[in-house]
Amino acid sequence: MNAARAVRLLLCLAVLGAPVADVRAKKVEATKVQSRQKGPLGRVLSETAQIYSGAAFSYRVIATVRRDDTVRMIERGKRGGWTRVQIDSGIVGWILSEQILLLSEATGEEPEPSRIRRFGRKLRSKVLGPPNLMTARAGGTLSAGALGREGLFLVRPQVFLSPNAAIEGFVGASAGRETSRGIMGLSTNLYLSPSIPFTVFVSVGGGAVFTKGKADSLGGARWSYLASPGGGIWIIFKRSVGIRFDFRNHVLFRADDAQSLQEYSGALAFTF
């Protein structure tokens, strides 16, 4: 008799508890959906990036995302270069801030974008590439332009030390009416905005120049030191290819002479 009463009591509790559990489950689900709507969107820049349970490499890896995946950015720049994110599966963790790019500051439903904004988004998705300076290890340019009143052609290989800095070599030649020059040296490039497809950079370099006069010129062959401060802009397209524009002031100097020549050049640039 006692056993029968116990069974009936358990059945009653189960029936009464089912609606409560259902309400709680709906509240939890609603909270998850709401949390997914908070925080701006970010795009993953690295080929693969790991999500950690805390803001340090010592924490456990709880998920992995790939390039062009989108995440919700919950907390940004508060933990020494780490950002707290939520991925599509609902997992919340920490990722290096330099591995993601902010796409939109909006946190909820966005209004219909204007035609100009839609055109800009389409241009970026179809023509402009992801900011591959964030993951590039090496690259180079084939530059052509003017050095003073002379034609200029330079090859510029470079090695990236970080997304913001690279060591770049340069070698090439310029030719004018009276002289021809061989140019070689090294420079340090600092990229100011590597996380977007348009990056401005500054450069400081030095090297040597061999100048030789033409057959009808009175000047002889000579070597000069070279200092070349300057900068430019790099526009990155798809497939790690882009165009770069350099503006530099090349100062050729010796113990008894100095000459300043301005470089204006465009280049086919690539990274890998």
Residues forming a β-bridge with 234: 199, 244
CA–CA–CA angle 71, 74, 79 (5° rounding)? 110
CB 65 within 8 A of CB 92: no
Measure the CA–CA gap between 270 and 272, rounded to whole angstroms. 7
Average pLDDT over residues 159-169: 93
Q: Please, where in the chain does CATH 2.40.160.20 lie? A: 133-271
Picking from 140-144, 198-202, 207-211, 220-224, which range would have the lowest pLDDT averaged per residue? 220-224
CA–CA–CA angle 247, 251, 255 (5° rounding)? 175
pLDDT at residue number 178:
82
- Pairing of β 138-147 and β 150-162: antiparallel
Average pLDDT over residues 191-195: 85
Q: Is the pLDDT score of 10 beyond 60?
A: no
Query: Residue by residue, what is the 3-state secondary structure of the chain?
Result: CHHHHHHHHHHHHHHHHHHHHHHHHHHHHHHHHHHHCCCCEEEECCCEEEEECCCCCCCCEEEEEECCCEEEEEECCCCCCEEEEECCCCCEEEEEHHHEEEEECCCCCCCCCCHHHHHHHHHHHHCECCCHHHCCCEEEEEEEEEECCEEEEEEEEEEEEECCEEEEEEEEEEECCCEEEEEEEEEEEEECCCCCCEEEEEEEEEEEEEEEECCCCCCCCEEEEEECCEEEEEEEEHHHEEEEEEEEEEEEECCCCEEEEEEEEEEEEEEC
- 7 vs 5, higher pLDDT: 5
Structurally, what CATH architecture does the domain formed by 37-106 represent? Roll (2.30)
Average pLDDT over residues 152-174: 95
- 255 vs 189, higher pLDDT: 189
**pTM higher than 0.75, yes or no?**
no
Measure the CA–CA gap between 249 and 246, rounded to whole angstroms. 10
Percent of the chain predicted with pLDDT > 90: 40
Q: Is the pLDDT score of 268 beyond 90?
A: yes
Q: Is the pLDDT score of 231 beyond 90?
A: yes
Residues forming a β-bridge with 259: 252
pLDDT at residue number 132:
72
- In this predicted model, what pLDDT tens digit does every residue of 67-91 receive, in sequence order? 888 899 888 766 568 899 999 888 8
Q: Is the pLDDT score of 168 beyond 90?
A: yes
**What is the chain's mean pLDDT, rounded?**
81
pLDDT at residue number 31:
41
Q: Please, where in the chain does CATH 2.30.30.40 lie? A: 37-106
Average pLDDT over residues 252-269: 94
- In this predicted model, what pLDDT tens digit does every residue of 82-133 receive, in sequence order? 899 999 888 899 998 888 988 865 544 445 667 776 776 666 666 676 667 7
pLDDT at residue number 36:
52
pLDDT at residue number 238:
76
- In this predicted model, what pLDDT tens digit does every residue of 22-70 receive, in sequence order? 445 444 443 444 445 468 888 898 888 999 988 888 888 898 999 888 8
CATH placement of domain 133-271: 2.40.160.20
CB 132 within 8 A of CB 240: yes
